[in-house]
Structure formats: structure tokens, C-alpha cells
Amino acid sequence: VAILLAVSGCGYGLRGNVVSPHMKGIEVIAVLPFENRSRVEDDEFFVEGVHDDLLTTLARIGGLKVISRTSVSQYVDTAKTIPEIAEELGVATVMEGAVQRAGDMVRINVQLIDAATDEHLWAEIYDRELTAENLFAIQSEISEQIAGALQATLTQEEERRINERPTDNLAAYNAYLRGRQLLARRNTVQLTEAMSEFRRALELDPEFALAWVGVGETATLLSNWGTMTREDRNRIRQDAANRAIELAPDLGEAWLIYATVADSLAEAETRYRKAIELNPGYATTYQWYANDIQGDFRRLEEAQQLLDTAVALDPLSPILRQQAAHNLHLMGHTDIAARRLSTLLDEDPEFVPALNSLAEARQLQGEWVEAVQLLRRAATLDPGTPEPLFALMRAYQVLGYSEGITDLRNRLAEMSGERNPLVVFADAFVASLAGRPGAVVEHLQSLDPSIRNSPQPSAFLAQAYVELGNFEAARTAAERAYPRVFDSEAWTQLPDGRLRDIEALCIGGYILSVTGDPEGGKARMQAGLEYAQNELPRYITGREDSVSAASCSLVLGEVDHVLRTLETLTAGGDLTWVGFFSSSRAPEVEPLRNRTDFQELLAAGQAELERQRERLRALDAEAATPLGEAGP
């Protein structure tokens, strides 16, 4: 954490590279977009494909790190000089190229430039008949020449890998390249189109391993950002991973998708490391590896190092910069994360994941109106993703902006179907925030048992039953949600790196204490509180004054500590607690309600939310007023 704070004034990529431990002692090169010398518009995609394939081939050389396509694509037709570009990307060497296609012949002209002196290190012209075999052979020759010019020693294994041809079908390869380009925006429409392109590539060449990787990656992203069910994702991804590994066991990208279907985190990490060994220049591997381990708050700094490596490889990539900023937010550095996300959105104002992440940060900073505007923009730009709709529901409920919630719920139902679990969860979520635990139970009980009895819905049910005073039903649900808490030995190993474990100890311990084991319940609650106060701040800045800690204190009856925690949250702008304490019927809240100082703090929080609610209503009324007419 100290290291991260020390470099917090630096941005990623064009604001000054953060040097990752994975990058030390390795030559970094930027291959600029190739010029289309034929000037035929239909050849643009072909030229982009030649450029993209060269980047992929170079990335397989362990002694080189290649700036990814997303970043270098910013320099198409740029007026910037080579030294200026090199400084922005943090590289010492830049490669330029041009492609000209005429009938069944192709000419590729490339040159390697020392950015410090602007002098040529090497140049070559390739004239060949246009076949898949010749095209990939040129890429291999260029890669070997660059490695030699930069004194990067090729191992026999690397030399073999860069000479492999991914497919003999040019049409399949073009479809694959279109799919890769569509993945970058994380927009559900483009993700759906990407899946179609990868499927088309496989129709043309069923043994095209990279296209199978594309199918697996797209299924993952459609599940994360869209409405693809977990069952469909798992089925598609498992098939794609198996086929990719079977066809190309030495392909780093195949090991990446294979990691996503591992049976355990330990097995997944082994596969991620194999992917990095085989293709150390593939930024997505570092990103997905980080995503997998950041669920353990003890490994957030390790995840940051992986994301720094990904950003160093692709410093202008919107998704990598968003992910790196989001991880800082998870570490408790919300202000730093918000600044970086704001910079990203200044450069790319329509990037939906950054809009969602900045909205989350703004809520914790108390800027609910800005958060709502960010989320509305995200929902408009990508109408196929449910994430901003859920976040808007929460924001509206906290603000008391009830008139918009029904519309959001109906939009979600139109997107995914009335009985989709997403819609049921939305109904239960809104009922919870409105202080209607009976409705929460009714909605969740309508789910299929295979979903209802899984940990997250069970935890939701347990809390609702507590508010209803039905503690036996709460215990049944809690035992499904937190089985280790109710195990006489396993609970002593908690928390096990998950924030949810602190909540589990507090809620599960409380339920245990009122259903026959007061001493055991108290021991669990005390363990949760002590961990939140003493251990958690080692990994996450400021979390000792979190809502998790407040909930532990609350069930232990430490009202003074709860009040101090809420005061600290409020001083930092975080009013997320107001809605819960305004509506909760949970019996353990009653001692707090009877405190005059709590009532004053709650009233101040409600007044601030009311002020922001009225400001939002005024902005909405102003936006709805036709031009030339006076507003209300």
C-alpha cells in the first residue's frame, strides 16, 4: 500500500508508466498502426489484421514486451513525432510499417526506430504472393529480425511458437480479427457481434484454436457485462477451453481460457502462470488473473501489480485502466481511483465500465447526483447490460427518488425476461431498501430452489427473516449461506480473505446466539468485530470504520462504537447507511434508535439526501422543459 501511495501522483501509460515487477529488464516496443499504401478502403481491415498478427507474434517472445493494439491504435494518422509517441507510451523503440496489396501480391515495408535518436535500427521490404502461409511467414521473419536488432535472445521453443500458423484460411482469420476488435469496448451489442465473428471463423476452420479462445472470452464477458446466464457461460466456456487446449497446448491464450474453467483457484493460478510463460505479452492474462485473486482482500496489492503489468503492456486500454483504478478503490484508495477514472472518461467519455466505476466511487464520496447521471449515461450507452440499472435502483432508493424505480425494474424485465433471476433479485432488493422484509421473502421464495438455496440468496433471506423476527427460518437460511460459521471448528478460520466473511460472522453469530447458543454466537461476533478493527486495515485503507464493523458492533450492543463509525462515514461523505437505519426493523437496531445523538445524525443525513434529491429533480425538470419555455 505504501508503494502504491508513493506513486499515486502518476497515471498509467501516457501520464507516466508505473514499472511493474513483471517488466523489469525487458525491452518494450511499440508497433504503430500500419499505413494502407493501396488507398483502397476495403484493404483497411486487411492492413489492421497484418498489424494485429505481428503484435501477437512478437508478444510470444519472452525478451520483449509489446505495447498492445488498443494503445497504439490511438496513433493512426497522427502528427506526433516518434520521440513524442515513445515518451507517451514509455518505450525506447518504435516500429513503423506500411502494407500494399495488389491482386494476389502483397508488399510489407517495416522499419525499426530508436526513439531517443530517431534513427533507423533496421528496415526491410517483403514482396510475396498473398497466401495465408506467406502472410504468417512474413510475420515470423519480422519478429526474428526485431528480436535480433534488440538483442533479445530467442529460445528454441519461442522460435517454434512464432513460426506456427494459427490457420490456413484467410477468411477465418479475418473473422477472428473482427471479433478481437469488437471485444475491447465491453459493450453488450459489440460483444454479441464478436461472438458471431468467432463462430463464423470456426465454421470456416473448426481447428482454429484462437477462435475457440475468442468464444470462451466472449462468453465470460457476456456473463459479466450482459445477461448471459451462468449455466450458458459455463457450458460454452468449458467447450471452448477444452477445444483450444486440445488443438494448441502451447498457446498462451488457450491456457488463459482454460484457467477460467479450473475447479479451484490454485488450479486456475497454475494455468494463468502457464499462460504468462507461453505468452508473456498478452495483457488480458494479467488482468483476468488479477480479477480472480482480488476477491481475497489479502491479495489486493498482488492484484494491483498484475494490473500494473497489463497497463504497462497496453497503457491506453480503457478496460485495463478502469480495472486498475477499480482495484485501487477496493484497496480503500477511492479518491485516487476517482481521479484516474475521471481522467479516463475525459479521454473516452463513452466507456461504460468507467462510468459505472466512477459512479460507485462518487456514492462513497457523497456525490449522489453525479453518480445518478453517470449511471444513466452508462445505461443509455449500453442498454443491454443490467449493471447500471441495479446501481440506479440503489441510488434512487437511497435518495428517496422513488418515481424512477419501477421504470428501471421494467427495463430490466424487458432486457432479460420477467421471471429471470435478475428481475426477482431486483424486486427483492427494492423491497429490502423500502423496509419490506416480508416482500423480500416472497420474491426470493419464488426462485427455483437450485438458485434460492445458493449462498447469496440464502444470506438475503436470512437477513429478511431476522427483520421479521422469524429466527428459526433465519437460521435455516443462514446455515446455507454461511455453513462454516455454524461449524464448531471451521468458524475459527474466518475471515478467510473475503469481506463477506466478516458479515457472516456477525449475522451468523447473532442468529446462533438467539437460537440456542449465546456464547458461541457472541464468540463469532467478537471475532468478526476484532478482525474488522485490527486486521482488515492492513489490507484495505479506512475499512476499520466500515458498515461491516458497525454491524458487528450493533449485534454486540456496542452502541457508542456504532455511532462513532456512522459519524466517521458521514464526515467522509458516505451516506449509504442512512437508508438501512431509516427502514430496518431488525431488533438489534432498537438500542441505537433510542439515542438522541443518533437521531440527530440520522436527521442530518436524511436532510443532505433530501437536498441532493431535490437538486436531481430540478435537473430532470430542466432537461424535460422544451427549449424556449420557462422551467417550473
Strand pairing category for 105-114 and 119-129: antiparallel
Higher pLDDT, residue 561 or 26: 561
For 496, half-sphere exposure in the C-beta direction (CA atoms, 13 angstrom radius) is: 9
Q: How far is the C-alpha of 507 from the C-alpha of 504, rounded, in Å? A: 5
* Cα 443 from Cα 20, distance rounded (Å): 47
Residues 6+ apart with CB under 8 A from 137: 128, 163
225-242: buried (b, 16+ CB within 10 Å) or exposed (e) per residue?
Answer: bbbbeeeebeebbbebbb
Could you tell me where the DSSP H helices lie in 67-155?
69-72, 82-89, 132-149
Residue 6, pLDDT score: 25
Lowest mean pLDDT: which of 68-77, 84-93, 341-350, 593-602? 68-77
Asked whether residue 585 carries a pLDDT value surpassing 50, the answer given is yes
For the chain, the farthest-separated pair of C-alpha atoms sits apart, in whole angstroms, at 85
Residue 528, pLDDT > 70, answer: yes
Is the per-residue pLDDT at 523 higher than 90?
yes
Are 248 and 254 in contact by the 8 Å Cβ rule? The answer is yes
Query: Per residue in 440-455, pLDDT tens?
Result: 999 999 999 989 999 9
C-alpha cell at 288: 483476468
CB distance 206 to 365 below 8 Å: no
pLDDT of 9 > 60? The answer is: no
Give the sign of the dihedral formed by CA 231, CA 236, CA 238, CA 239: positive
Contact 70, 344 (CB under 8 A): no
- Distance (Å, whole) CA 410 – CA 568: 37
Using alpha carbons, list the distances in angstroms from residue 258 to 56, 136, 162, 182, 217.
Answer: 19, 25, 21, 22, 10
Q: What is the pLDDT of residues 101-138, one digit of tens each?
A: 887 788 888 899 998 888 888 888 888 887 777 877 88
Q: Would you say 371 and 573 are in contact if contact means Cβ atoms under 8 Å apart?
A: no
Alpha-carbon distance 314 to 284, whole Å? 10
pTM of the model: 0.80
List pLDDT tens digits, range 244-270. 999 999 999 999 999 999 999 999 999
pLDDT at 532: 85
Span 403-433, pLDDT tens digits: 788 888 888 888 877 778 888 988 898 888 7
Q: What CA dihedral angle connects 369, 372, 377 and 380, to 10 degrees?
A: -140
Q: Which contiguous run of DSSP H or E holds residue 391?
A: helix 387-399
d(CA 246, CA 240): 10
Confidence of residue 19 (pLDDT cuts 50, 70, 90): very low
Q: Compute the distance between CA of residue 581 and CA of residue 584 in angstroms, rounded to an integer.
A: 6
What is the average per-residue pLDDT within 515-540?
A: 91
C-alpha cell belonging to residue 250: 502451447
Contacts of 172 (CB under 8 A, 6+ apart): 200, 201, 202, 204, 205, 208, 211
In tens, the pLDDT along 616-631 reads 999 999 887 654 444 4
Pairing of the two strands 64-66 and 35-36: unpaired
What is the distance between the alpha carbons of residues 318 and 20, in angstroms, rounded to a whole number? 18
> What pLDDT is stored for residue 543 in this prediction?
63
**Residue in the block written with cell 440456542:** 516
Q: SS3 for 199? A: helix
Please give the pLDDT value at position 546: 65
For cell 434508535, the residue is: 593
Instruction: Give the span between the Cα atoms of 424 and 43, in whole angstroms.
Output: 49
Among 171-180, 349-358, 463-472, 622-631, the least confident range: 622-631
Q: How far apart are CA 566 and CA 384, in angstroms?
A: 37
Q: Give the model confidence (pLDDT) of 484-512 as tens digits.
A: 999 999 999 998 888 889 889 988 999 99
Instruction: State the pLDDT at residue 504.
Output: 92
pLDDT bin (cut points 50, 70, 90) of residue 70 is: confident
Quote the pLDDT of residue 16.
35
Across the chain, what does the average pLDDT equal? Answer: 86
Confirm if 111 and 96 have CB atoms less than 8 A apart. yes
